[in-house]
Amino acid sequence: MTTEFILSEATIQSVTSALADGVISCEEIVVAYLKRIDTLDQCGELPINSFIATNAKCVEEARHIDTLPMNQRGPLAGIPIVIKDNIDLAGMPTTAGCFALRGNFAKSDATIIRKLRAAGAIFIGKTNLAEFSWTGLYSTSSVGGLSRNPYDTLRTTGGSSGGTAAAVAANFAVAGVGTDTGASVRGPCAHQNLVGLRPTIGTCSRAGIIPVSSTRDTPGPMARCVADAAILHHVMKGFDLKDTSTWHASRQLGLPEIFKYTDHSIRGMRLGIPRQLLDVPCADIEVVKQFERAVDDLRSLGAVVVECDEPHFAILSNIEPPFRMKPDFDAYLLSKQVKGPVNSFAELAASGQYGDDVADFIRKQVDVTEIDRLKTEGKYERLVSRLRREILRIWDREHVAAFIFPTWMRPPDYLENIGGHCGNNNRWVAHVGFPAISVPMGNTIDGLPTGLQIAGRPFTEEVLLLIANDYEKSTRHRNCPMI
């Protein structure tokens, strides 16, 4: 029997066990997290600043769960979760970090939030982000300001789900939900010693989420361990009439027979290294060392790790995505069926109520005509299809189940010296719509987190979770920040 509840590094299992044993109540857990947020999130001259707002109803919701018999509670009953503030949570504004959307109150939950709520999750608050999720380099917004990395508040959280990652890393919640358009779940998780899963496009509904690009957007779990990420993923995934991309979710292709494994082990599984991703001028020697050690660790677990050579990989994956935010944002507003502070992308752009960092991103899309957009999208899809075919060809040729590589080739940058996208290994995965997971790979000599990414075939999330889980259990690289 559990005798004491320890908030630091709590997991879904530890919280569930403490509740079942009567060691602590849901209300006490939520209040403890709220106190920690109040004490630490805005502490010091360089605060973490991970939250846009806490949920005023979360204590009341916890009290309700406390009244339910154990056999009537869902798998996430009493689990405090934070969500990125581009995801609708009924009764709270969904701002996407934009000043113009402060009054954009959600009438109903996003589909994934409805599923998490039905499982008993308690939403403790909404977290800061790169405004409109526009960059993977850092997380600042006109509503929330700048989020900082709890491992070193002089450094970036990454973007765009940086506030969510900072909150989970700093133990302000058990887990979180972000969104990933290019790097936005996996990058911040790598920078803050977390597990972040980007599912296959179509696995989880995007209904009720402020979009950037419907061809690349997807929600994903962010957690301190693989098991918690897996639980959140299983709750969130599935078909939704409101998102036609989820028709594909019922397919769940799985792996060809050659990749099947037994006894829940990765022994004998073939994993490929796309070496071209590592051979970049900005590669940090500490990150490279951690990756080579990760390769040794995977081999010690019985995996067969092979080099997968494709000299043109960098060229094939250097694809400029089309501007999709205008039509996708208008579709999001239309789905709300109520008037808000702005009622079209044109109104948003004309308001001028957004941060300087995102201004060019917004203004460039205003004058894009439907004809120009369709032409650009046609070219984009041709390039993406070529990249997708090439990746699958390599995997078939080498008989590999997944690629492994560093999520970022650099540790988190200083905020005053953001180094650009060199070494960002995330974007090609988003282009092709495949699943990928980032898991802690070990700290640099300066104590900065690094991440190992595992990317696989469509709808093979279970395989990626298995690989990540075996690797995590054998290495235990995550350590919590000293705050």
Cβ 326 vs Cβ 365: under 8 Å: yes
What's the rounded Cα separation, in Å, for the pair 8 and 170?
9
What's the rounded Cα separation, in Å, for the pair 44 and 53?
19
Q: What are phi and psi of 222, to 5 degrees?
A: -135, 120
Q: What are phi and psi of 132, to 5 degrees?
A: 55, 25
Instruction: Return all residues near 140 (Cβ < 8 A) that are at least 6 apart.
Output: 97, 128, 130, 131, 146, 147, 355, 357
Angle made by CA atoms 46, 51, 56, in degrees to the nearest 5: 135
**Residue 84: active-site member:** yes
Structure tokens at 416: 């005053």
Which residue of the set 161, 184, 214, 317 is catalytic?
184
Sort residue 404 into left (φ over 0), alpha (ψ -120 to 50) or beta: beta
Which residue of the set 50, 142, 147, 160 is catalytic?
160
**Residue 184: active-site member:** yes
Burial class (CB in 10 A: 0-12, 13-18, 19+), 162: buried
Q: For 67-156, where are the alpha helices, taking DSSP H only?
A: 111-118
Which residue of the set 50, 84, 141, 214 is catalytic?
84
Burial class (CB in 10 A: 0-12, 13-18, 19+), 66: middle
Structure tokens at 37: 């947020």
Query: Both ends of the chain: CA-CA distance in Å?
Result: 30
What's the rounded Cα separation, in Å, for the pair 122 and 478?
25
**Residue 147: active-site member:** no
Strand partners, 273: 307
What's the rounded Cα separation, in Å, for the pair 167 and 49?
9
Amino acid at 401: A
Q: Is the dihedral of CA 446, 447, 451, 452 positive or negative?
A: positive
Strand residues in 347-448 grouped as ranges (E): 402-406, 436-443
What's the rounded Cα separation, in Å, for the pair 449 and 410?
10
Catalytic residue IDs:
84, 160, 184
